Amino acid sequence: MSPFEILFLVSLCGVPYSLYISSIWLYLLTLFFLYICLELTKRQRKEEIKINGRGVVISGCDTGFGHDLAKRLDVLGFTVFAGCLHPKGDGAKLLSKNTSKRVHIVSMDVGKDDSIAEALDYVKTKLPKKGIWGIVSNAGFNVMGDVEWLTIGLIHKVMNVNFYGMIRLTKAFLPFVRKSRGRVVIVSSVKGCYPCPGDSAYHVTKFALETVADSLRLEMIKFDVKVSVIEPGDFSTATACQNEIHFKRYKEEAEEMWREASESVRTTYGKRYLEAMIEKQSASLNSYPTTEPVIDALEDALINTTPRTRYLVGGTNKMFDINAIAAISPLSAWVRV
């Protein structure tokens, strides 16, 4: 433990005393200064692994975080197994075009056992000499809607990809990572840290990821495997979550919810309620313009010899990301609702 860390902990012990002195604001300012020094010290002490072509398996590389991470890791010298839902689609073709031969496009639907098994078989045939260093569970999607509106089918669908998909991917490739004493990195969300109306199915999956990651981290200590969680804020524009394809899906899901809703729910809410929900999502203009902050966090989780357990990454084009603030606030539930 560094002198700064010791000093910071000692300063925290003085919080109760500070309540009885008049210079509390000076005390808080000093505490904030010490915290900044602590963070700078940690960054200066950062040590990185030797990459040497180590393998990393990533899910959800058609677009967004997975796509951009595959390109970043290629530049760094990793052997990348980029899992794509549509291996012959535009996203996969673009990724293949813009990367070296170290990047392998792998057909991967994390929602299907057979697809993961086939991906595993493929990776075994292309296994680099240094083995598989990391698993990045990134694939996921959102289903919007109040609890009363959501169909059981839609809830199953989002759980199958966001949560069970992570379990499938991790269980398949964990033996390799255990052998290399590598990394498991799970892309969650700030929405795995606080509740929010109209997005419960997505929140449930992300809360589940947070919990299973903590359990897995404790289970992997004996194997010297480190587990990190990435919690991005609003990067919806940068990850193509606000394109026409997604809006079309949102509308189709809203129609499904309307068809399967009870007469009581239809009468109470009205169809305009669902339409307004889609319009609100379409009008969201606060997203961070690029994925770079999240890719930086993912990179650090993979190559830092002492990675963080959690990386909260604010994402907005404004001064503050209210979602990230809510994620660390003990009053988040009250504030959001």
**Rounded CA gap, 192 and 207, in Å?**
4
Q: Which tokens go with 145?
A: 């809607």
Predicted confidence (pLDDT) at residue 254 exceeds the cutoff of 60: yes
202 counts as catalytic: yes
pLDDT tens-digit series, residues 167-184: 999 999 999 999 999 999
pLDDT tens-digit series, residues 139-150: 998 888 999 999
DSSP letter at 235? -
pLDDT at 209: 97
Phi, psi dihedral angles at 136 (to 5 degrees) = -120, 105
Which residue in 194, 202, 250, 311 is the catalytic one?
A: 202
Specify which residues 79 forms β-bridges with: 55
Average pLDDT over residues 159-172: 98
pLDDT tens-digit series, residues 117-136: 999 999 999 999 999 999 99
Percent of the chain predicted with pLDDT > 90: 62
Predicted confidence (pLDDT) at residue 240 exceeds the cutoff of 70: no
Mean pLDDT check: name the lowest of 144-153, 198-207, 237-246: 237-246
**Rounded CA gap, 144 and 154, in Å?**
10
Predicted confidence (pLDDT) at residue 82 exceeds the cutoff of 90: yes
pLDDT at 314: 78
Average pLDDT over residues 286-314: 91
* Alpha-carbon dihedral 76, 80, 85, 88, rounded to 10 degrees: 90
pLDDT at 109: 98
Residues of the chain with CATH 3.40.50.720: 55-242+284-336
Q: Return the CATH superfamily for domain 55-242+284-336.
A: NAD(P)-binding Rossmann-like Domain (3.40.50.720)
**Rounded CA gap, 304 and 149, in Å?**
44
pLDDT at 235: 78
pLDDT tens-digit series, residues 1-49: 455 455 555 555 655 555 555 566 665 666 666 666 666 555 555 788 9
CA distances, 67 to each of 78, 94, 109 (Å) = 14, 9, 15
pLDDT at 188: 96
Specify which residues 48 forms β-bridges with: 304
Q: Is the dihedral of CA 232, 237, 240, 245 positive or negative?
A: positive
**Residues ≥6 apart with Cβ < 8 Å to 258:** 266, 271, 274
Predicted confidence (pLDDT) at residue 278 exceeds the cutoff of 80: no
Average pLDDT over residues 288-313: 93
pLDDT at 67: 97
pLDDT at 333: 40
Count of CA atoms in the C-beta half-sphere (13 A) of 257:
29
